[in-house]
A and B are shown apart, each in its own frame.
Chain A
């Protein structure tokens, strides 16, 4: 086990080093991309919500997707996971195309997501929520379900795995509660643990830390880093910059539907384009009494 984990740790470190050599420009090619997207577009009426020319995500890294409100981050997530049909675009995951595949196929292929507004299944217990996440269950066929002998052993194995994950995510004590009875933060944890049950190769988290208390955030961050060490690729949307800086190897910035910058966390946060997108292009210009003088100053 230790040999394997040091091995994967070295892998992670290696991936980070490889990324250090990548040019921090939007749409740059990565040496070992697990995901590649091209000219992905989604518009609602006249509003172009997503218009991503090219994006690659490096395997076995933690990539953050940031951007001001309304930048199209969640819509981009929805499109590439099959929850929202794109107007145009192609994308591939581990070399095969996922474009226009239904959401359940995307998940089966190893791209598993969570939701910004948590979707726990309220009237199922926490443990049942977890078991639902397991893939290739023999008892999920209508006819095999009638014969418990067919699926009982697999169910036991899934339960064991679920209990291990619940322990990792500090949810063991609520395993028999209805998921609807959990607090907001616990729901976030459950959703992440449930996604892990599906054995993803790339885990996509939509604001995993929103509403989770700071102490728990720390342990969640550790979990996320651990997942990378286990060989997963993590792509997540987050607003909390401290967390982004702490955990991510690479940061992609979206604004008004397109990728405006990418790079290491340190680089992106100094990038003028990013600061402008968040704060407005004239944020460092002193406000005067009349708006006109502001324009004049900026022009000059």
Chain B
């Protein structure tokens, strides 16, 4: 078994492009679900809006990249308003249903045949829309011990983690402020917060939109890293992985989504690399497991790991067990 390459791939992916994208989406969801208690199951929809805004506006309309990113943010705000206005006055579960449906609508519209000329159908849009941005990259590739990045990946990863750091800082500032206190209060009991003169609806809307905008930025980074968008990358699976990351790291913790995303991607890559090597090296008979089954098996194993986590550490990595115990009273 080639342990060096196994660790090289795993650790590189731990802080790689996918980890950055999922981490951003999870940071957004953490504000909605972790702090405000909003069951947003449409984070993939927000990400898709960010990604498509960049792809469509730069490739098709020829706009500059920064303006396209800004429009992605505006798009996410509008999407958040559309979702929030009818549902945030209702019970929490309605938001869950509406968001999961709305995210699927976004994806189905993106891959629709009618809009093929604008959105590229199920193939999506591929193009050099971030070429100028990549041209700014002063670095060559990077290789040190177990980390290895290509030139472009390195640029995405550096910028991505800086963005993650900024958003984590904003989250930290917000959640120690009176604004964050109102949000946490709403998560616990919104009627109590209402009885103290706070406009609960407004706060929920702000949280939904703020988290959604961060989700859209995840999509922007995703599109810029891949230089293409495909609608099926923004299916509900993305949303559920993001939930896994938030819960794994510990909901309502600033560093939860960051560590959660790293662990999630490390485990996913590590397991498949180990299995791949084991099968190819003859340690696992190909009668039991063939290489093309590994993709599925790794999710089974990650799922098993999550179940164990929920049983033995239900509060996640960063959570506080004392807090969780309060729910059982």
Contacts and interface: CB of A to CB of B under 8 A. Distances in A.
A178 B177 contact: no
A121 B192 contact: yes
B128 interface: no
A104 B181 contact: no
Contacts of B189: 119-121
B180 A145 contact: yes
A155 B177 CA distance: 9
A83 B199 CA distance: 13
B163 interface: no
Contacts of B177: 139, 145-146, 148, 151
Nearest to A177: B322
Contacts of A105: 197
B151 interface: no
B206 interface: yes
B197 A107 contact: yes
A128 interface: yes
Contacts of B191: 83, 103, 115, 119
Interface in B183-201: 184-185, 187-189, 191-200
Interface string B133-149: 00000000000000000
Nearest to B184: A124
Contacts of A139: 177-179
B300 interface: no
A142 interface: yes
Interface stretch (A2-10, A58-66, A129-137): A129-137
A108 B197 CA distance: 5
B197 A112 contact: yes
B178 A123 contact: no
20 contacts: A104-B194, A112-B196, A112-B197, A113-B195, A115-B191, A119-B195, A121-B188, A121-B192, A122-B326, A128-B184, A132-B196, A135-B197, A138-B178, A139-B178, A140-B178, A142-B174, A142-B206, A145-B177, A145-B180, A194-B196
Contacts of B179: 139-142, 144-145
Nearest to A139: B178
B185 A121 contact: yes
Contacts of A121: 184-185, 188-189, 192-193
A162 B177 CA distance: 17
A198 interface: yes
Contacts of A131: 178, 181
Interface residues of B, number: 31
A48 interface: no
Among the interface residues A119, A135, A178, A198, which one has the most CB atoms of the partner chain B within 10 A?
Answer: A119
Given A124-B188, A178-B323, A137 B178 contact: yes
A197 B185 CA distance: 15
A123 B174 contact: no
Contacts of A124: 181, 184-185, 188
Given A122-B188, A123-B323, A124-B185, A104 B199 contact: yes
B188 A133 contact: no
B70 interface: no
Contacts of B327: 122
B181 A181 contact: no
Q: Which 6 A-B pairs have the closest CB atoms?
A: A180-B326, A145-B179, A139-B178, A145-B177, A119-B192, A107-B197
B15 to A, nearest CB: 27
B100 interface: no
Contacts of A108: 197
A195 B195 CA distance: 8
Contacts of B91: none
A81 interface: yes
A195 B25 CA distance: 37
Contact of B197 (A114, A123, A198): A198
